[in-house]
Every structure is written in C-alpha cells, then in structure tokens.
Structure 1
Amino acid sequence: MSDGEGATARSADEQRRIVRERYAAIATESSDGCCDGGADGADDADQCCSSSVDEQSREMGYDDADVDAVADGANLGLGCGNPTAIAALEPGQTVLDLGSGAGFDCFLAANAVGPTGHVVGVDMTPEMVEKARENARRNDTDAVEFRLGEIEHLPVADGTVDVVISNCVVNLSPDKQQVFAEAFRALKPGGRVAISDVVQTAPSPEDVTENPAALAACVSGAATFADLEAMLDRAGFEAVSIEPKDESASFIREWDDERDLSEYLVSSVVEARKPR
C-alpha cells in the first residue's frame, strides 16, 4: 500500500469514478455547494449553508479576510487546510492548483500574485470546472483559468509554474507517485510544492477502508508520512517537509458521526522544492 490506499483492490478507473461522481453531485446540488457526507456518505444538508462553510473554513486556517475576499459559491468547505497561507505567494508568480474544485483557493492565490501573475486550476470533474468558470466571472478576474484534467496527467507545459498548491486532493488519487512526478515536471527549477492534505497516522478500520464513500470523502485514501516523503523524494524534490496540524482533530472528528477519524488521520502541511 505504498500509495496509502485501502486494502480493497479497486482499479484506478473505479477510484476516479467514485470521486468524480461525488464531486459532480456537490457541484450541482445547490448554489452554495454542499460538504455532504463523511465516511458514511450521509447527507449533512444542515451543514451546507454559507455560514457553516465559512466557519469550517476558519477552522481550517482561513481568516475573515480570506472568506470575505471571494464571491459566494467558490468556497464549498471541502478542504483540510489553507494552502495559500503556506505558499508565500509573490506578485507575478504562476500558481497551479491541483484539484481546484469551485476555485476558492485559486481566487485567493490570484489576489496574492496580482495582475501580473497567473493561476491555473485543474480538476477532473466537468461540473466542478463549469462551476469554477462561473465563479471566475462572478469574481471578475482574468488572472485565473480552469482546465479539465486529471492531476496524474496535468494539462500544463513543462517548467512553467512557480508554486503548486492543493487542498485535500492528493489523497484522492489512485497514483500519488504520478501526481508528484507531474508536479515536478510542471514546476520551474526552484519551484515549490505547498499543499494541505490528510495523512494517515494509523490503519483505518476495515469497514472504512472498504467503503467507497470514505474514499471520496478524503478518509480512506491517505498515505502515511513515510510514504509521502518517499514519493516526493523519488519524484526528485528536495527540502521535503511534512508537518502535522494537531489542531485539525477538531474538524476531522466532525467528518464521521460513528467514529473519531482523528485517531487515523491528521491534516498536514506538505512542502518541497524542485532543485534549481
């Protein structure tokens, strides 16, 4: 299980189908989006109002200025951290967001890189890309574009990106090694990875591992610290750092009504650099 997947022998195509279907439903379910379903896939409609999503975002590390800076509809409350806060973005940079969803982190990144910068969001779910493009018009920005594609096969040219960000998406991939290889390819020499993701701290119970909803809800596909470090190293990165955010237990506990998932998962800051 070097990529951190559960014991079930799902094909890569099956895993992508499960994830794509969940996020297509989220993108189309309501104007606010919906953070439905923990590991059991239950409908948490009461948690999907804007005020609840904003509160979840604050728990994940966004501040009031972040929440207020982006028009309604882009923040679906689906992440597990704030990658733009750790990316140290500078004006004029090109940023690539892996699994960009409705575009929230892309719009925050665009504010940081300014009119001379550029942000590219990549997502494999057509409904999410459509929603993100609508949000781009609502946010009145030309600095952000959204492309349909898999994060294992990025529709981005070699050596064109300064910073790769991502928010609780790499864990969903059936081939995380390929994700990091693609990020390395897309980055300029000296470019950086700055992502938030869940990391496995203990094996998940079998009923969680075998539950398709748990995979799509960022629960059963997480890799371990050792596996992530090894994959980043094999991809060619240096200065690899993976720091757990212990305070994430407060919101990870809310992902499932039947068990405390913070016993198996922790949100972490993953950073690495492509050699110059």
Structure 2
Amino acid sequence: MTDQQQTELRETVRARYAQAARTVTVGGVAEDCCGTDPIAVDQTFGTSLYDAADRDQLPIQATAASLGCGNPTAVAELRAGERVLDLGSGGGIDVLLSARRVGPTGKAYGLDMTEEMLALALANTVKAGIGNVEFLKGHIEAIPLPANTIDVVISNCVINLSVDKPAVFAEMVRVLTPGGRIGIADVVAEDELTPSQRAERGDYCGCIAGALSFTEYRNHLNAAGFVDIEINSTHLVAERMHSAIIKAVKPDETACCAPGCCSSPAATALS
C-alpha cells in the first residue's frame, strides 16, 4: 500500500466514524461496524456485547456510539489505581467504564483521531460525572503519551482499521510500563483466508478487510516484544472471521533473574 493509499484509506475511516458521531449527537444510533450488513441482526457488534449493568450506568449517547466487536473492559482485569489507555476511544464507552473500574486513584485515557467522536466523548464524560478521564487527539500509530506511563492498553475493534499495524503494536509496547498488559477486542481472520478473501466478506471501514489472521496477529505482537500472548475467538462476525480477545504482556526485565523470564504481577494476572 502506497503512502497516498494509506492517507486516503485513513480519511475514509475518519469520515465514516465522524458521521457516526454526528448521528448520535442529534439523537440517532450509529450503525455498527458492518453498517446495514445482515450480520448486524445477529448482534455481533455494538452495545449488545456489554452487560446491562454496564450500559445502564452511562449516558445513552455513549452506548449509542458503541461500534466495537467486544467488551475489552470485561477481560482486561482492571485494578484500582491503574492507568488505562483506550486506542480508538470513539464515544467513550470503554474509557468511562475503565475509569469506574480503576477508581479515583487511577486514570483512563482515550485516544481518537476524529474531532466529532472526541467532542461526543467529552460530552458523555460530563453527563456521567466522571473526573479521572482524559481524551487525546491523535493516531494510534503515534500515541501522544510518554514511554512507560500506562499500565493497561485496551482497544475495541479498532486495530483492524489501522493502515500500519506494526507501528500500533510498537507504540503499545512503548507506552506500557514494564509488566504492563493489553486486553483487546478485534476482528481476526482464520489463517487460510487471503487478504482478498477477507475483503470479499466486508470492507475496510466495516472492520473486515483490514483484519489480520490469527497467526499474523501473534507474529506482530511477538515482533513488537510482547510475551504471554493469548488470542481467543469469542464469536463469528463473518464467514471464517472472528471477534477475538487478545491478551499479552510487556516483559518486566527488572523482575527477572534469568534471561528471557517474565515473572511480573501483570503476567501472573493474565495466566
């Protein structure tokens, strides 16, 4: 993919989700990742993947803007006092849920490239009355935070939209503290599907064409430096395409007494 193609694709994605934010802002409900695709009827994307107790504690605009393929806050095992970063935070549902889980001594950051989504997320934060939240504008391939400052990175069906996935994984490692971890929901293809076959099942903005295979995902995480990698399918979103939960840990060399070990508390929590 050329630089020009990457730029055009990123703009297409931005425009799609900006329109979703505008729809929610005026009282509508954003279409899920697959738009009007029949998959939407099966409730494989969006707010239906959250428990009613989680949905009910947030403004309706936060749940109406939910476009993900899972619930990363339910698997990230967040603890009081932790610093959490949500990549592609959209209307803020996962940031607000994370902020409640980490409590007043922790903090939840949301990163999004879309002005309209950031404005919606800020409005939802005010309505929810949650103070330990900060939203940042930027790209997930170049996270605007210092190194070694985040305990947990989450993301909900966004990495498949990136035009430079290795850069995203490298950035996650950079911002995580030693022993930090990730808990991600994303669309993942079965290994036998070629990129063209994935594109036949859905477009890039629809979270399908840009999906990595299970092996590709694992290899990218490994190349970035992650250990204790787990990739587990939760449900089908298209033929031989899965919503999956991805977990991994950044090694904590300071906690190791032998080469290659990673006996950090975060690694233990994910085992």
TM-score (norm 2): 0.83
CA 1:14 to 1:63, structure 2 compared with 1: closer, same or farther past 3 Å? same
Query: Shift in Å at residue 71 of structure 1?
Result: 1.4
The question of 1:274 aligning with 2:262 is answered no
| Kept after mapping to 2: 8 A contact 1:160/1:186 | yes
Map 1:174-253 → 2, pairs under 5 A: 174-201=163-190, 202-203=192-193, 206=196, 209=199, 214-245=203-234, 248-249=235-236, 252=237
Question: Is 1:25 matched up with 2:15?
Answer: no
Instruction: Provide the identity percentage.
Output: 42
Distance 1:204 1:29 in 2: 34
1:124 aligns to 2:113 (yes or no): yes
For residue 62 of structure 2, give the secondary structure of its aligned residue in structure 1: coil
Correspondence 1:87 to 2:96: no
Find the counterpart in structure 2 of residue 258 from structure 1. Answer: none
What code does the residue aligned with 2:242 have?
V
Match for 1:184: what amino acid? V
Tell me the equivalent position of 2:30. Answer: 35
CA contact (8 A) 1:204 1:220 kept: no
Relative to structure 1, the CA distance from residue 172 to residue 56 in structure 2 (aligned partners, 3 Å threshold; closer, same or farther) is: closer
Name the SS for the 2:185 alignment partner: strand
Q: Is the 8 A contact 2:198 2:211 kept in 1?
A: no
Q: Deviations over 1:18-54 (max 9, x none)?
A: 1101000000023345332765x5499xx89xxx99x
Map 1:156-167; keep pairs closer than 5 Å. Answer: 156-167=145-156
Q: Answer whether contact 1:194 1:271 (CA < 8 A) is retained.
A: yes
Tell whether 2:52 aligns with 1:57: no
Root mean square deviation, CA, Å = 2.7
Tell me if the contact between 1:97 and 1:106 (Cα under 8 Å) persists in the aligned partners.
yes
Runs of 4+ in 1 over 6 A off after TM superposition: 7-10
CA distance in structure 1 between the aligned counterparts of 2:227 and 2:13, rounded to whole angstroms: 30
Deviations 1:113-171 (A, max 9, x none): 00010000000111111111111111111111111000000011110000000000000
- Provide the C-alpha distance between the structure 2 equivalents of 1:8 and 1:181, rounded to a whole number of angstroms: 21
- Decide whether the 8 Å contact of 2:195 with 2:209 is kept in 1: no
Per the normalisation by structure 1, the TM-score is: 0.82
Q: Which runs of 5+ in 2 are unaligned?
A: 253-271
Q: Aligned equivalents of 2:206 and 2:102: distance in 1?
A: 31
Q: Which residue of 2 aligns with 1:70?
A: 58
Bigger relative contact order (CA 8 A; separation at least 6)? 1
CA distance in 2, matches of 1:238, 1:207: 30
